[in-house]
Amino acid sequence: MRAAEGTVAECPYDDCRSAITLPIRPWLCPMCGRKVRECTRCRGLSVGSARRCSRDGGCLWSPDEFWGMAGADAARTFHTPEATAWRAGAGAQFRRRQVRQAEPRPGARAGWSAPVLAGGALFAADGDGRLFALSTADLTPRWREEPFVTGGCDIYSGAPAAAGDLVYVGSPGGWLSGYDLESGAAQAQARVNCNVVAPLGVAGDLVFYAGANRNGGGCVGCADFRLRGAPAWERGDLDSPVAAGVAVAADVAAVLTQAGTLYAFDLEGASRWPPLRTGVPVYGSLALGVGEARAYFGDRDGRLHAVDLATGREAWSVQLGSLNLRGGPGLSDAGILVGSAGTPGQLYLVRREDGRLLRSFEVNGQLHVPPAISRDELFLADSKGFVYRARLDVPGAAPEVVFHWETGAITTAMAVGDGALYLATSDGALVALEPAG
Q: Tell me, what CATH number does 284's domain have?
A: 2.130.10.10
CB of 279 within 8 A of CB of 260?
A: yes
What's the CA angle centered on 85, arms 84 and 89, to 5 degrees?
Answer: 150
| Domain tally, the chain | 2
What's the pLDDT score for residue 240? 96
Task: Specify the pLDDT at position 55.
Answer: 44
In this structure, the answer to whether residues 39 and 107 fall within a common structural domain is no
Beta strand spans in 175-332 (E)? 175-180, 186-191, 195-196, 201-203, 206-212, 218-224, 230-238, 247-249, 252-256, 261-265, 276-277, 287-289, 294-298, 303-308, 314-319, 327-332
Is 69 a domain residue? no
Give the three-state DSSP class for 430. strand
Count Cα neighbours of 205 within 13 Å in the Cβ-side half-sphere.
15
Query: Of 383, 329, 379, 382, which is closest to residue 352 (Cα–Cα)?
Result: 329
Q: Are residues 90 and 41 in the same domain?
A: no
Q: How far apart are CA 273 and CA 263, in angstroms?
A: 8
d(CA 293, CA 173): 34
Quick: pLDDT tens for 340-353: 998 789 999 999 99
At residue 46, the pLDDT reads 56
pLDDT of residue 152: 62
Residues 3 and 34 reside in one and the same domain: yes
Give the C-alpha separation, 11 to 192, whole Å.
35
Do the Cβ atoms of 211 and 218 come closer than 8 Å? yes
283 with 143, same domain: the answer is yes
343 and 261: one domain?
A: yes
In a shared domain, residues 5 and 98: no
Nearest Cα to Cα of residue 78 among 263, 265, 289, 257: 289
Residues 248 and 336 in one domain: yes
Residues in the chain with pLDDT < 50? Answer: 1-3, 40-42, 48-65, 148-150
CA distance 348 to 310: 26
Is 73 part of any domain? no
170 and 58 share a domain?
no
The residue range of the domain holding 416 is 79-435
Tell whether 368 is covered by a domain. yes
